[in-house]
Structure 1
Amino acid sequence: MSNSKVQTPPKAFDAFLMRIGQINYAWTNTESTLIHLMAGLIPTDTSTATVIHLTLNTTRARLDLVERLSKRQNCPVPAEAISRIIAICKQMKKLSGLRNRLNHCLYAFDSDGGPVRAIQMRIADRKNSLAYGAETVLDRAELAEIDLALREIQTLNEDIWSVVSDYAMPQ
């Protein structure tokens, strides 16, 4: 039998878990709206755009496709729409960094009341070494950054629907 105790996360950790869940929900919902931009930019129906969206298995690939479709010659949407779409893609790429950091890490806490930490599960190749396990303390400042990102994702969602509506893209 083992004598090790199961550690219980501090109550404050629940607020971070709740926010991370909200970020994931908002992100997935917003990323799915790219289907409508794809349908308008290709142009095609939303069923075909959904197949394309699901075939591309990363956010980066989906955003690159939308951005490239909007930059090509003979793009079927007006220049104002293209500018808005490129700005949306740029903002989504920026926000994907935080989302990835929150989702691709381990969370650590200790029973002695030390700070909760996010430990990155990413290897960074250096010239002569490897670096991994970068830690971020999950404090009020980090929670504020997550809250700001959540508001920005919600705004992106509204911006995408606005473009879809303004330029009569398939819904």
Structure 2
Amino acid sequence: MDEAFETRFDRLILLVGRLNYMWTNTESLLIHLIAGLTGANKDVAVIIFLTLNTTRARIDLVERLAKMEGRPPEIRDPILDHTQRLSRLSSIRNKYNHCIYSFDQESGNPKTILMRIADRKTDIKLGREDTVDDKAMKEIEDVVARLSNANKDIWKLITQLGFPV
């Protein structure tokens, strides 16, 4: 393995690690939203959060709680803005967490191989491959920065609403 190749791989692994850290840290803020919206204490909200084993299920729960009849728009609307923001950011996280990695023999760039089956009308498609070039690395960096901002904004909302911390 040459040095340039190893450097690109190390950069990718570091970025994916940061992406995972920021995602997990930010997704865990849903615990506080669950607690505040249900009137439960934080321990109960943690149990609810951990019982739901997908990000989509957790976001769905928070959105449904926020949309309940009688929920004031000043509580509902900012919560929905943040859950929709998280949903948009989840696609990049999912891409890099639900793949395996290989390397392009010519460029040395890492490649992702999606670990999904795409059902078509008459056939299936396996393992879509995408090159992780400088543009893709920049996209990961951008999502990490956007997650960091979302994290700060959600904490601010939790505090403003007086939800359990």
- TM-score, normalised relative to structure 1: 0.90
Are 1:64 and 2:60 an aligned pair? yes
Q: Which runs of 5+ in 1 are unaligned?
A: 1-6
Out of 43, 55, 79, the residue aligned to residue 73 of structure 2 is 79
Q: How far is 1:113 from its partner?
A: 4.9
Aligned-residue offset at 1:74: 2.4
Does the 8 Å contact 2:31/2:46 carry over to 1? Answer: yes
Higher helix proportion, which one? 2
- SS in structure 1 at match of 2:118: strand
1:169 maps to 2:158: no
What is residue 154 of structure 1 aligned with on the other side? 148
Percent identity over paired residues = 42
Contact kept in structure 2, 1:10 and 1:113, CA below 8 Å: no
Among candidates 115, 122, 129, match of residue 123 of structure 2 = 129
CA RMSD in angstroms comes to 1.5
Structure 2 residue ranges without an equivalent (≥5): none
- Which ranges of 4 or more aligned residues in structure 1 deviate by more than 3 Å? 110-114
In structure 2, what is the Cα distance between the partners aligned to 1:25 and 1:41? Answer: 25
> Scaled by the length of structure 2, what TM-score is found?
0.93
Matched, 1:99 2:93: yes
Aligned length: 163
Question: Which stretch shifts more, 100-109 or 111-120?
Answer: 111-120
Larger radius of gyration: 1
Query: 2:82 maps to which residue?
Result: 88
Corresponding residue number in structure 2 for 1:32: 28
Partner residue, 1:18: 14
Is 1:117 aligned to 2:111, yes or no?
Answer: yes
Q: Which moved more, 1:111-120 or 1:138-147?
A: 111-120
